[in-house]
Structure 1
């Protein structure tokens, strides 16, 4: 069942301890979603009349770059042209705190890496006032199997596989674009659609070979997926070739088991530097994956629903863990306990967006929301 208005009615509880649990669950903390509002590694380098003056300029410019990076991370790409332009007097009240690392100074120069934490509620209000959709959801990781094709051969674990090498450089070793500042700032932040690349050790080699990867062998894909605990597996192939005018080309195909249509080949053009072309292609692919996830999980704040759910309780620790997981979801605005015993909780979960989004977000936290013949249950998987 769903309610349009929550009713804070409490029945008698089994014990004073359980009452304390219920009261603790009536206010939803920001929880894990707070991490979304921390913008890391904004590298600044400013020169002024003194090191102190340069530091003031660096912090001012740094917080402006940080809030813009946060906006770009929250809001889908088609709406970036409508992002609010804020001056210092508007940005500073949004900053909850900031930290400094790798600080270096000279007589007139200041260099540092700045990390800013912004006030979640205030930023959300600003975006909603500007009618901008946004998403705070972080996906479970996707496992990428990079296959390089050359002539009649295909390489996954075999040498040489320059395609896999560049994926490892970016995903595992943090290779990032250095300019412009906006691009560097964006890539300094954690991915909302995390990506894993297998280590290529003996366990991986035994789990899947290149032919099984290209044929999307379900048993082999399941084996490698289980090793890394990924939500899904994607095989990304690349083939380098040269156009008639000497332009270097890279043909890329994304293979997924859930594809309903034949995969399309996308061709990228580049310079004579094959590695540089591969880097730009991978950054493009990763950016598309981030945007795809963001669009799928945009929160619709025009619709707010209160859902009554029943949860089985096995212990105090388990109940508190379930509450924390639910309250940490960005879509959840409030939880309220109506009835609680030592074995079961009946409570309200107020959320924005649709049921599918809520169900998917809960599933990412190993919680199952299910319709049991007219009433809803929320329990660990």
Structure 2
């Protein structure tokens, strides 16, 4: 069962509009659609709760409060340094979290006389969340990285395995493939072309041009080789079919050189309640956390740290300007686009953005745009604001 619930309901009216008004309406809608690209980052999917109380109603209300808190905790962890706001969230009233929620969906629910089990999806209002960060003097990043490809090699007794059905490490990565994150991760499916480009025995001896072809085919920016090595105790527990025991050694390699370069390695030790799947899942979560924290360190911004520049944009038509404005509105670092002047060949805008110019450049690059410095004798609309050419 799926139920969609909105915190605010709006009534839209349709009317017959002259051609000019229709065009303005179309432009507005395109800008609104562009803002939707960043909205996914403020959506938390599949929040699961299981609550028992005196009766079904009490259990459901308690579960909903718990779901909101869990969703917001996941969102803050996604955007801010690990544990940065944990204490503040624990002390927050649920009504404060609720005020930041745009809408939610009940994906699934089961109700008994005293128990409620539910799965929710929450969509948060980005502006409200940023105000929370500002009020708590927290840093955060809402700039999404280019996708990273993970090649999950499983090494047992010195033998590497990537594509076979017995690769528990790849199975764990497949379970999170496509999950929303600041650092999107892609795991190749292992079709004939994939296997041709990267064989099981090539973790440390890959051919650079074939790895590049594999990376490009999936639209990833770079590839990380993630090698998981079970120790002897873990191998025995897997073969015996009992509870998980021992440790999983995980090694991460960069592939930006002709041969893999070890970046880091760590251990994931089995805990008392671990299954083999949960142990491997925790290994995946640790790798994802390392990737996120590295990206956050590059793109972190203080909430409320606003800057302005002006940009000159060459356009071919009014429709071309509408498309360009839509792309600018979709840039996560851009808070507002103010049109200063518009002619048939050129638009001049003021961009209000978070963070420094380098962060803005990174965000623009993701939308296929870049800033270029103007010549010294170029005319500027406002001499007090830096001006660039936006291409």
- Do both proteins adopt the same fold according to a TM-score greater than 0.5, normalized to the shorter chain? yes
1:209-288 matched pairs, under 5 angstroms = 209-210=199-200, 213-215=203-205, 217-242=207-232, 248-258=246-256, 262-264=261-263, 266-271=265-270, 276-288=278-290
In structure 2, the partner of 1:185 is: none
Q: TM-score by structure 1 length?
A: 0.78
The one of the two structures with greater contact order (alpha-carbon pairs below 8 A, sep at least 6) is 1
In structure 2, the partner of 1:181 is: none
In structure 2, the partner of 1:97 is: 103
Structure 2 unmatched runs, 5+: 1-19, 237-244, 377-386
Secondary structure at the residue paired with 2:231? strand
1:286-325 matched pairs, under 5 angstroms = 286-301=288-303, 303-325=305-327
1:165 Cα deviation from its structure 2 partner = 3.2
RMSD over aligned CA atoms reads: 3.4
User: Are the structure 2 counterparts of residues 37 and 193 from structure 1 closer, same or farther at C-alpha, using a change threshold of 3 Å?
Assistant: same
User: Are the structure 2 counterparts of residues 162 and 115 from structure 1 closer, same or farther at C-alpha, using a change threshold of 3 Å?
Assistant: closer
The answer to whether 1:206 aligns with 2:196 is yes
**1:306-364 per-position Cα deviation (integer Å, ceiling 9, x unaligned):** 11112222344443232122223332121111222222222111112111111111111
Superposition misfits of 4+ residues, deviation over 6 angstroms: none
User: Are the structure 2 counterparts of residues 206 and 345 from structure 1 closer, same or farther at C-alpha, using a change threshold of 3 Å?
Assistant: same
Q: Is the 8 A contact 1:333 1:350 kept in 2?
A: yes
In structure 2, the partner of 1:136 is: 142
Q: Is the 8 A contact 1:334 1:351 kept in 2?
A: yes
Q: TM-score by structure 2 length?
A: 0.76
Between the aligned partners of 1:267 and 1:255, the Cα distance in structure 2 is: 12
Q: Is the 8 A contact 1:71 1:83 kept in 2?
A: no
1:89-238 matched pairs, under 5 angstroms = 89-157=95-163, 160-171=166-177, 190-210=180-200, 213-215=203-205, 217-238=207-228
1:166 Cα deviation from its structure 2 partner = 3.0
1:62 Cα deviation from its structure 2 partner = 2.0
Between the aligned partners of 2:228 and 2:101, the Cα distance in structure 1 is: 43
Between the aligned partners of 1:93 and 1:159, the Cα distance in structure 2 is: 46
Secondary structure at the residue paired with 1:291? helix
Q: Is the 8 A contact 2:78 2:181 kept in 1?
A: no
User: Are the structure 2 counterparts of residues 104 and 297 from structure 1 closer, same or farther at C-alpha, using a change threshold of 3 Å?
Assistant: same
Instruction: State which of 51, 60, 66 in structure 2 corresponds to 1:46.
Output: 51
1:289 Cα deviation from its structure 2 partner = 1.2
Q: Is the 8 A contact 2:154 2:160 kept in 1?
A: yes
Q: Is the 8 A contact 2:215 2:221 kept in 1?
A: yes
1:82 Cα deviation from its structure 2 partner = 4.9
Between the aligned partners of 1:269 and 1:74, the Cα distance in structure 2 is: 24
Between the aligned partners of 2:56 and 2:276, the Cα distance in structure 1 is: 42
Secondary structure at the residue paired with 1:347? strand
1:67 Cα deviation from its structure 2 partner = 2.2
Between the aligned partners of 2:117 and 2:276, the Cα distance in structure 1 is: 33
Secondary structure at the residue paired with 1:77? coil
Between the aligned partners of 1:138 and 1:291, the Cα distance in structure 2 is: 12
Stretch of structure 1 that moved more, 347-356 or 150-159:
150-159
User: Are the structure 2 counterparts of residues 92 and 210 from structure 1 closer, same or farther at C-alpha, using a change threshold of 3 Å?
Assistant: closer
1:204 Cα deviation from its structure 2 partner = 0.8
Secondary structure at the residue paired with 1:198? coil
1:330-369 matched pairs, under 5 angstroms = 330-369=332-371
Between the aligned partners of 2:63 and 2:275, the Cα distance in structure 1 is: 35
User: Are the structure 2 counterparts of residues 150 and 315 from structure 1 closer, same or farther at C-alpha, using a change threshold of 3 Å?
Assistant: farther
Secondary structure at the residue paired with 1:115? strand
Between the aligned partners of 1:264 and 1:342, the Cα distance in structure 2 is: 51
Q: Is the 8 A contact 1:213 1:221 kept in 2?
A: no
Between the aligned partners of 2:247 and 2:110, the Cα distance in structure 1 is: 42
User: Are the structure 2 counterparts of residues 99 and 276 from structure 1 closer, same or farther at C-alpha, using a change threshold of 3 Å?
Assistant: closer
